[in-house]
Structure 1
Amino acid sequence: MPTDLSPIEKAKFVAAKRASQLVEDGMRVGLGTGSTAAWLVRCLGERVRDEGLQITAVPTSIRTAELAREVGIEVVTLDQAKWLDLTIDGADEFDPQLGLIKGGGGALLQEKIVATASDTMVVIADAGKEVATLGAFPLPVEVIPFGFQTTRALVEETLGSMDVLGRETALRMDGDAPFVTDEGNRILDLHLKRIGNARQTALALNQIPGVVENGLFIDICDRVIIGYGDGRIEMRDLDNGPVETGRLDFVDSDNIFADLPD
């Protein structure tokens, strides 16, 4: 790992490095999307190269698939894999019950499908992603383009009856044009500030015609690995609390990580 990374990037790296050690030969593994998940893919690529690790991977986005192939990981579709042993992904927020907000990278639909098609979902994150209550990070909602403004109005109306602190909505942009997901849809970011009942909010949003999926991952994550900028890690699950603490040493910059784009 490059030694000139910021503390946050170092935290992401050590969480990803520890999670990569959970992957065993022959596993079918879901690979998440985002900067932390990119570190995971690189770590797994290093194991494929140096240890001969043999896995098949189902990426949750086009960019994750491209990176996985680049580092030598075999990529298949979810239909080909049928079911996964393990999915490892990042999160924009996680709470004490391991509820998540995901979708900051715009891949929430594939991420949720892949995570729920897995025996185990592990989240990797830096310590700054932990919150007491979900909602500070804008909640992404994937919406089809047809009738977008009508769907947006229905979402805003629904939020009026939800236990949330804010109700502002914003169409996610990519420069001057709307952001487009891998499925050709739009992202509506909900600035809720605090979500009092995440399960109720997720169910209500998914009842709205035009909404494809939302970024609340409730009762999906089994374990979270938290990384710190000084190399410390903590592995935590809902049933047992902290199950492991430790520290990973940083390595020199002359390795596989130096040349790969994020």
Structure 2
Amino acid sequence: MSSELSPIDKAKFLAAKRATDFVEDGMRVGLGTGSTAAWMVRLLGERVRDEGLKISGVPTSARTAQLAQEVGIKVITLDEAKWLDLTIDGADEVDGDLNLIKGGGGALLQEKIVATASDRMIVIADAAKEVEALGAFPLPIEVIPFGWQTSQALVEEMLISMDVLGRDTTLRMNGDAPYVTDEGNHILDLHLNRIGNARELALVMNQIPGVVENGLFIDICDTLVIGHGSGRVETRDINDGTIEDMRLDFVEDDNLFRDISD
């Protein structure tokens, strides 16, 4: 129930609610992964059910695909869609230039592929995700299992020459075993504390053998929707240079707030 949600969860819900206003009938929409994106998928499902909205969704993870199907969204593959009108996804951090760290949910590879195959990417987040400089949140990189320790050593050596405050790296675990992505890979989390030049780091990192992709999303996000627990929602469009402030009502809906696995 809405009365049981924390202010952060309400902020996530409101950001997701505002972002769904950009979805129009007939669109092919990339569906992000994570707690904020899960609100967005549920809300789109409500529009499909109540308004007859007809969209095709391309999920960025198996769990998003499952949720989308549960709420009645038509799910297709990116190969079937070929190109998307819009992708809506969350972020772990976002700076003033709308550059992001993503991958806390382990889906960064599919998220980046889907986002870059879209005319527009909208990022939804609570205000706590805004930062002056990226890096406090551990930066995930996806690596193939073969020789992952060698890849890790090469990453740590590379970080010596980068403008970062920390160089510790850890293998992400799932209990006693390494975490495995939907693509069958592992994730290394880089504890950098602060990234001085995110663009340079993203380019250099992907040159390391064994590294499939990194969680820095540079020049990919077009619009940022920030929700606040008070009901205020701020929408920033980096292309138009516009900032819109509005308030949204938080309406309780038993169906929307039921426990759906994400």
TM-score, length-normalised on structure 1? 0.98
- CA deviations 1:175-195 (Å, max 9, x no partner) are 111000000000000000000
> Which residue pairs with 2:144 in the alignment?
144
The one-letter amino acid of 1:237's match is: D
User: Residue 131 of structure 1 aligns to a residue in which SS?
Assistant: coil
* C-alpha distance in structure 2 between counterparts of 1:178 and 1:153, whole Å: 17
| CA distance in structure 1 between the partners assigned to 2:62 and 2:153 by the alignment | 31
Distance 1:82 1:44 in 2: 21
Matches within 5 A, 1:37-116: 37-116=37-116
Q: How far does residue 230 in structure 1 lie from its aligned partner after superposition?
A: 1.2
How many residue pairs align between the two structures?
262
Q: CA separation in 2, counterparts of 1:89 and 1:256?
A: 19
Q: Measure, in 2, the Cα distance between the counterparts of 1:110 and 1:176.
A: 25
Give the deviation of 1:240 after TM superposition: 4.1
Does 2:234 align with 1:234?
A: yes
Q: CA deviation at 1:199?
A: 0.5
Identify unmatched segments of 5+ residues in structure 2. Answer: none
**Which secondary structure state, in structure 2, belongs to the residue aligned with residue 150 of structure 1?**
helix
2:109 counterpart of 1:127: no
Contact 1:180 1:187 in 2 (8 A): yes
Conserved 8 A contact 1:84-1:118: yes
1:140 maps to amino acid: P
Secondary structure at the aligned position of 2:26 is classed as coil
Deviation at 1:4, TM superposition (A): 1.4
Identity %: 76
**Residues 1:26 and 2:26 aligned together:** yes
Residue matched to 1:224: 224
What amino acid does structure 1 have at the position aligned with 2:24? E
Matches within 5 A, 1:183-202: 183-202=183-202
Give the secondary-structure state (helix, strand or coil) at the position aligned to 2:49: helix
Work out the CA distance in 1 between the residues paired with 2:81 and 2:28. Answer: 7
Q: Partner residue of 1:174?
A: 174
Contact 1:2-1:258 at 8 Å conserved across structures:
no
Q: Cα offset for 1:242? A: 4.4
Deviations 1:148-190 (A, max 9, x none): 1111000000000000010000000011110000000000000
TM-score by length of 2: 0.98
Counterpart CA distance in 2 for 1:3 and 1:82 is 41
The CA RMSD measured in Å over matched residues stands at 1.0
Structure 1's unaligned 5+ residue stretches are none
CA distance in 1, matches of 2:91, 2:178: 23
State how far apart, in whole Å, the 2-side matches of 1:93 and 1:140 are: 12
User: Which AA in structure 1 matches 2:215?
Assistant: G
Matched residue of 1:257: which SS?
coil
Distance 1:140 1:235, change over 3 A: same
Query: Which residue identity is paired with 2:10?
Result: K
Return the alpha-carbon distance in structure 2 between the equivalents of residues 135 and 108 of structure 1: 16
- Residues of 1 paired with 2:83 and 2:240: CA distance? 26
Give the CA deviation at 1:237.
1.9
CA distance in 2, matches of 1:259, 1:149: 39
Q: Structure 1 residue runs of 4+, over 3 Å off?
A: 239-242
Q: 2: distance between equivalents of 1:148 and 1:67?
A: 32
Shift of 1:3: 2.3
Between the aligned partners of 2:260 and 2:247, the Cα distance in structure 1 is 24
CA–CA distance in structure 2, aligned partners of residues 239 and 27 of structure 1? 21
Say which is worse superposed, 156-165 or 234-243, in terms of deviation.
234-243
